[in-house]
Structure formats: C-alpha cells, structure tokens
C-alpha cells in the first residue's frame, strides 16, 4: 500500500483495490501535536475536532506519537448518533505528520485483503521457507517464523510467541520457547522507522537470523522464561487450541480470570490470536500473536492468514524437531558406545591387575625362595671364612648381587608399581556409579542402588579405585541371595567417606560373610583379589570394615579419606 | 633351650633356617607342610615359636594359623612368606609378625629373639 501526495496534499492510496478511491469520503493531515494541518473539502462529521477524532479512533494517538509507523486500516468507534467509518491511518506528507483517510463504512477492507491474501501469503511463505532452508538449527527456524508473523511486510502482528510441546515432570506441556516483538511503543517506533526508510526488509531480517545477529528481536523473549501450559488442563484455552487443533482469537475479557494470571502478567492484556502448530505426524505447539502496541483489532482474516502461514511452518518445525531428536539419540548412542569402550578398558585393566598380581605372586614365590636360600647360605659361609680366604671376595659378590635382585624383586612384586597412577580430586559418587555401570552386564543376580547426599570428594586415581571396587563388588555379588537389592549408601563420617553395602534382607549375616571372605575366603585367588582391593584402598589411606549398630544390625563398609582443599 | 618350629615346603629353606637357628642356640623342629606341623604340635612337639610359610600344597599357612589360634592361643607365630600381598589378608593379622622372606635373616632372627624374650 503506497500513499501519494502532491504539493503536500493527499492524492490517493495505490492499491489493487479499486473500491478504495470510489469509497473515499475525505482526509485529514495532523501534526505531531495532534492538530489539523490540512483537511479535504469535505470530511465526515466525526472529525470536526482533534479531541473528538482521538475518541473515535483509539489508534490515532499511537500514530501521532509514531508518525513513521506503517499505515493500517481501522474502524472508527460507532457513536450513538454518528456513522462508523473505515479509516486508514499512516505516515503523512512530512515525516512528523499523520494522514487519516475516511472511507464509507461499508467498505470491506478485510475482504479485499483476503482476496489478495493468496498471493501475499504465498510470497511470505516462499521468502520464509527460503530462509528456513538455510537455517541449521531449530532456534533460527522459530525466529524466522516469528519474523514472518510480525514484520510489517509479513503478517504484520506486533508480537508473536512460539510454544512447543514437551514433557515436564511426565506431563505433556506447552513450553514458551521464543518470542519476538517490541516491548514498548518507543521500541516499536524505532523498528518501524527503520522499516519505513527501507533499512529493514523481510529478507534482511531473515538474513540477520541466519547470520546470528538478531536485532530488535529479543526484547520480549524474557517474558516467556519458564512459562508452561499443561496440555492435560482441558479448561485452558491454549491447551484446547493445541489439542483440538483449532485456531481462535482469545479476547482479553476471557483471560481476565485467575487461571491466566501468570500469562496476563507476562504478556499484558489484549486479544490474542492462537494457532496450533500441527505437523504431518503430531502436534508441535502453538503460535500466539497479538497487537500489543497498536491495539489493532485481530480480525478473522488475520487469523486465517496466520493459520495458513502456521500450517507451512509446522511441517518444517516438525521435521527439524524429529531431526534434532534423531541427532540427540545418535549422540546418546555415541556417548553410550564410548562409555562401553571406556568401561571395557577399565574392566580389562581390573582383570589385568588381578592377573599381574597373580603373576607377581608366582614370581615372588619362585624367585624369592631360591634367592633366600642362595643369599642365606652365602651369608652363612661368609661369616665363617676369613677375609683373606680365596672365596671371600666371591661370596661377598654373591651376597651383594642377591641383595640387588632382592631389591628389584621388591619393586617388581609391589602391585601398585605396575600402575601408572593419575591421582586427582574426584566425586566418590561418580566413581561408585561408573563402577556399577561397568559391572552392569554381569550383575544379573542383584540390583544395585546408590544413596548419596552431599558431594563427597576424594583424591585418588579413579581407574585404580574402580578396579578395587570391582573386586569388592564381585565378591559382594557372589554371596548375595538371588535377585536381591543391594543398596550402597555414601555418607560422610568426620573426615572419612563411607560406602555402606546393605542387602535388602539378612543384613547382619551378609556383612559378616563378606567381611569374613576378606580374611577367611575359600581359596588363594579370592583372597588375593580382595587383598589387591585392600592394597589399593590402603594406598590412598582407605580401608574396609564392619560396623555394628545394635545387636541385629551390622554393615560392611569401604572407607576413604575425604579430600578437602587446603588440608 | 627354646624350640623353634620351621614350617615350609621348600627343603632348602628348611635347611637354611635349621642351620642358622641351630647355630644361634635354638632347638629346631621341621615340618614340610601345614598338616605335618599341626600333627607335630598336637603330638607334644610343642614349640616355643613357629616360623610359618604361607603358600604350601596341602594346607596353607593362613589356615594353619587360624587353627593354631583356636587351639594354642599363646603360641607365637611368625608368618614368613615370599608373598608380600598377604599382609593385607586379615588372617595374617592374627600372626605376631609378618616378614617377607629375605636372604638377610637378621630381621627374622631379631623378631624371634624379641618374641621369645616376651
């Protein structure tokens, strides 16, 4: 729509609608103070003076304050004895002037817009889809949709909000995710000024989104923070619009009840156009738009255009959400796979440690025994011969070399010498949890549960500690009754972190059996494994123990010193 | 004369310890297995101290120690093993001392003296 002036006088509005000129009844140009600058020869009776005019045209005040705001058609308020008119209000011939054009009241402006809407909406959808195709994330797609809804060259609403479906505490909800629009008339004026001088176009605004330099678009984003509408609340109109997949204009009077207080407080009052976003497969959310700044009434034709636009946008939103969901699942799978590989490595390390310990034991036994005998007899002989004896030097050499081998053996057989230790401060809960994850596939006869309150930090090599816990958990599982629950409770007791092992029943017998296994276990292998676990725990100042709480309560526990900064 | 029982399945170790402790003035009784040691003790070859190996074929040193603690509570026992990891085995804590085998017998001899003096 283009307004034309000649010598400061209004000459017409260029439009495809020929009925505009035919139904013109007169015009007025007002200055920034709301005073008449020019009037046509005849003007409708309602416009005799500026005050009366402002009463009849509630949008006039806004246009006088913001003469650069794009023009729009309004209906004058019908007074008792006066006729209602269709009125166009928009920029006047000078930059601080406003033009008011009066038409016959019977002029069907909305009908005309609907007649031309197919071309208009097709153009908007083409532009928006072109931009959407270039977007690489859902957030940008939603912003492009919102721009299409609010830009003057788009659907022209003042503000728009997108709510997407999601689960909150296992309840299906509509969650406010994105908003666009000015938060005040001043901000609106600045944006419309840029629009009027051609600094901002629909394409340039889409470009801004794609370049991630959103300007003037986040002002009302904060209004949505945490806004959630439960979909199972059947009395809620927004939930109804979503579930019944029907568009509606919700009048402000309907919202004036306590149920919508949060929404009213955030978005302000005024009629809202609500359109469901329904993809090919499922409901995606709702699109809400209003004319918060201009207070321009939302018509059925506005709603229909919004609905057409939303229909195309919904498919894209659905596709992208499905894609994002798929991408998230792929990433989850990747992470799970990485965890499996890491866990397998840890399990191999624990098993390798056990094998190494066994090997070290054999080496110790097979080497240390003859070494003791050779060295022992050499020393014995050395004591009995004088230093000038021919063999004295040679026996001395044997004793020295045996001593060297013994020292080397001492290092070799100390199990922790094999381990490259990577000590660091870590969360004990995370270590216990990851150990159980590691063993998850093997723990078929019992269910583990972890109880942990405060964050407890320890300093150790997490892998090494996990290896100790694996060996203990192996034993803990081997003696538990089938299909029982085992609770691991992590607590702080003084400077110690304690992990209690408690089965669902027969706690005392279980604790005694597990503890006894550490020192009276059935065979060398079991005892050696538990000895390895204990060696690791003790290396870090930890231990195992048995706690008696009354006659019938007994708990097996693993303890580790708590790490505290500066101590 | 104090009687020391050496329990070890390695003949060379038994021979070394027998020689060393005999020369130090002790009466040395030898057992090549855990069961043999228990039998000898029950058959009145009651020692004043036992030097006990752990890894043995029939009955390991920790099991022997456990039985000895049940029957002969006051009998001093020194666990003498080529393994160091058994130090963490709780049963080994029942012994009066745990010494890893070494060609240098001075520590073992010192411990024997100490326990027999008490």
Gap from A336 CA to chain B (nearest CA, Å): 36
> Which residues does chain A have within 8 Å of residue B84's beta carbon, measured at their own beta carbons?
364, 410, 413-414
- Whether A259 is covered by a domain: the verdict is yes
Per-residue pLDDT of A477-495, as tens digits, reads 877 776 678 889 999 999 9
Nearest Cα to Cα of residue B21 among B97, B108, B80: B108
pLDDT for res A518: 67
Q: Are residues B88 and A531, on separate chains, in Cβ contact within 8 Å?
A: yes
ipTM over cut 0.95: no
Nearest CA in chain A to B104: A376
Q: Which residue of B has its CA nearest to A398?
A: B103
Chain A positions touching chain B (beta carbons under 8 Å): 357, 360-361, 364-365, 367-380, 399, 402-403, 406, 410, 413-415, 518-520, 524, 527-528, 530-532, 534-535, 538
* DSSP 8-state class, residue A480: S
Domain spanning B3-117: CATH superfamily: Response regulator (3.40.50.2300)
Within this chain, do residues A134 and A228 fall inside the same structural domain, yes or no?
yes
Range of the domain at A364: 335-417
Whether A330 is in a domain gets the answer no
Helix axes A138-150, A109-134, angle to 10 degrees: 160
The length of chain B in residues reads 118
- The residue of chain B with its CA nearest to that of A534 is B88
Q: Residue A479: give its domain's CATH number.
A: 3.30.565.10
B103/A374 touch (CB, cutoff 8 Å), yes or no: yes
Rounded (10°) angle between helices A507-520 and A524-539: 100
**Strand boundaries in A351-430, DSSP class E:** 424-427
Please indicate, yes or no, whether residues A553 and A508 belong to a single structural domain of this protein. Answer: yes
Verify whether the Cβ–Cβ distance A361 to B85 is below 8 Å.
yes
In a domain, A326, yes or no: no
With respect to residue A566, please indicate whether it lies within any of the assigned structural domains: no
What was the pLDDT predicted at B13?
94
Is residue A327 situated within a structural domain?
Answer: no
pLDDT value for B52:
95
Kindly give the pairing relationship between strand A283-290 and strand A272-278.
antiparallel
Measured CA distances, A194 to A68, A92, A202 (Å): 9, 16, 12
Point out the residues of chain B with pLDDT beneath 70: 85, 87-91, 118
Same domain, A215 and A129: yes
- State the pLDDT at residue A419: 60
Half-sphere CA count of A467, side-chain side, radius 13 A: 28
User: What is the DSSP secondary structure assignment for residue A548, as one 8-state letter?
Assistant: E
Q: How far apart are CA A544 and CA A522, in angstroms?
A: 19
Distance to chain A for B108, nearest Cα, Å: 12
Burial class of residue A331 in the structure, from the number of CB atoms within 10 Å of its CB (0-12 exposed, 13-18 middle, 19+ buried):
exposed
Q: Which residues of chain A have pLDDT under 50?
A: 16-18, 109-117, 215-217
8 Å CB contact of B10 and A357: no
d(CA B115, CA A451): 47
Q: Are B29 and B40 in contact (CB under 8 A)?
A: yes
- What single string gives the DSSP state of each residue in B36-78? HHHHHHHTT---SEEEE-S--SSS-HHHHHHHHHHH-TT--EE
List the single residue in A361, A375, A528 with the smallest CB-CB distance to B103.
A375
User: For residues A302 and A138, what is the distance between their CA atoms, to the nearest angstrom?
Assistant: 26
Same domain assignment for residues A145 and A243: yes
The answer to whether the Cβ–Cβ distance between A372 and B20 falls below 8 Å is: no
- Which of A417, A437, A471 is a domain's end point? A417
The distance in angstroms from the start CA to the end CA of chain A is 76
Domain boundaries in chain B? 3-117
Query: Could you tell me the two tokens for A159?
Result: 């503000």
- State the residue for tokens 């001395």: A396
Residues A481/A506, Cβ–Cβ less than 8 Å? yes
> Which residues in chain A have their CB less than 8 angstroms from residue B62's CB?
527
Same domain, residue pair A124 and A7: no
Residue carrying the six token digits 């045996």: A402
pLDDT for position A408: 82
**B89 shares contact with chain A (CB less than 8 Å):** yes
Question: How many structural domains comprise chain A?
Answer: 4
Same domain, A121 and A85: no
* C-beta of residue B110 within 8 angstroms of C-beta of residue B104: no
**Identity of the residue in A376, A415, A518 whose CB atom sits nearest the CB atom of B20:** A376
Q: What is the pLDDT of residues A491-520, one digit of tens each?
A: 999 999 999 988 887 888 888 787 777 655
CA A466/CA B113 separation, integer angstroms: 43
CATH number, domain containing residue A72:
3.30.450
């Amino acid at each position: 729509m283009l307004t034309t002036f000649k010598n400061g006088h209004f000459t017409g509005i260029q439009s495809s609608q020929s009925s505009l000129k035919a139904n013109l009844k007169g015009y007025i140009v007002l200055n920034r103070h709301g005073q008449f600058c020019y009037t046509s020869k005849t003007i409708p009776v309602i416009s005799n003076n500026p005050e009366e005019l402002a009463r009849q045209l509630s949008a006039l005040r806004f246009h006088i304050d913001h003469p650069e705001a794009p023009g729009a058609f309004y209906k004058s308020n019908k007074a008792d004895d006066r006729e209602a008119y269709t009125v166009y209000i928009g920029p006047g011939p000078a930059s601080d002037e406003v033009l008011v054009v009066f038409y016959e009241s019977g002029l069907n402006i909305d009908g005309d817009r609907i007649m031309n809407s197919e071309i208009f909406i097709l153009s908007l959808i083409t532009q928006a889809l072109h931009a959407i195709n270039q977007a690489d994330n859902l957030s940008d797609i939603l912003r492009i949709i919102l721009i299409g809804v609010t830009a003057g060259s788009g659907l022209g609403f003042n503000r728009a909000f997108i709510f997407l479906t999601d689960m909150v505490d296992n309840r299906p909800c509509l969650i406010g995710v994105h908003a666009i629009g000015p938060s005040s008339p001043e901000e609106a004026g600045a944006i419309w000024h840029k629009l009027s001088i051609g600094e901002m176009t629909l394409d340039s605004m889409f470009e801004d989104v794609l370049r991630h330099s959103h300007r003037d678009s986040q002002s009302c984003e904060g209004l949505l923070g945490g806004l959630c509408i439960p979909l199972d609340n059947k009395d809620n109109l927004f939930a109804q619009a979503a579930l019944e997949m029907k568009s509606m204009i919700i009048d402000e009077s309907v919202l004036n009840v306590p149920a919508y207080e949060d929404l009213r407080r955030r978005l302000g009052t005024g009629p809202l156009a609500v359109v469901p976003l329904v993809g090919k497969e499922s409901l995606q959310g709702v699109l809400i738009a209003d004319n918060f700044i201009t207070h321009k009434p939302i018509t059925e034709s506005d709603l229909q255009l919004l609905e057409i636009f939303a229909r195309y946008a919904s498919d894209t939103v659905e596709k992208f959400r499905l894609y994002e969901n798929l991408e998230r699942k792929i990433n989850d799978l990747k992470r799970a796979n990485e965890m499996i590989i890491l866990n397998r490595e840890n399990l191999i390390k624990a098993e390798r440690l056990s094998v190494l310990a066994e090997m070290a034991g054999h080496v110790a036994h097979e080497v240390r025994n003859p070494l003791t005998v050779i060295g022992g007899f050499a020393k014995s002989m050395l004591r009995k011969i004088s230093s000038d004896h021919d063999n004295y030097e040679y026996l001395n050499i044997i004793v020295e070399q045996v001593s060297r081998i013994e020292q080397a053996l001492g290092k070799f057989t100390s199990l922790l010498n094999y381990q490259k230790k990577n000590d660091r401060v870590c969360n004990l809960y995370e270590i216990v949890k990851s150990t159980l994850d590691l063993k998850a596939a093997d723990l078929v006869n019992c269910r583990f549960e972890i109880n942990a309150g405060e964050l407890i930090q320890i300093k150790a090599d997490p892998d090494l500690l996990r290896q100790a816990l694996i060996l203990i958990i192996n034993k803990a599982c081997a003696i538990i009754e089938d299909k029982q629950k085992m609770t691991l409770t992590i607590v702080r007791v003084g400077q110690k972190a304690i992990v209690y092992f408690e089965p669902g029943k027969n706690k005392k017998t279980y604790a005694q059996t597990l503890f006894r296994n550490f020192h009276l276990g059935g065979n060398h292998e079991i005892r050696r494994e538990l000895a390895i676990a204990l060696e690791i725990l003790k290396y870090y100042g930890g231990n195992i123990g048995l706690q008696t709480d009354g006659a019938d309560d007994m708990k097996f526990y693993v303890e580790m010193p708590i790490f505290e900064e500066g101590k | 004369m104090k009687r020391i029982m050496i329990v070890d399945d390695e003949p060379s170790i038994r021979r070394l310890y027998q020689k060393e402790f005999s020369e130090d003035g002790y009466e040395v009784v030898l057992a090549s297995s855990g069961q043999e040691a228990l039998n000898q003790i029950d058959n009145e070859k009651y020692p004043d101290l036992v030097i006990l190996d752990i890894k043995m074929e029939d009955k390991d040193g920790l099991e022997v120690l456990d039985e000895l603690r049940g029957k002969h509570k006051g009998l001093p026992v020194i666990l003498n093993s080529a393994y160091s990891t058994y130090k963490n085995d709780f049963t080994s804590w029942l012994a009066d001392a745990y010494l890893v085998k070494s060609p240098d017998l001075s520590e073992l001899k010192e411990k024997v003296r100490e326990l027999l003096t008490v």
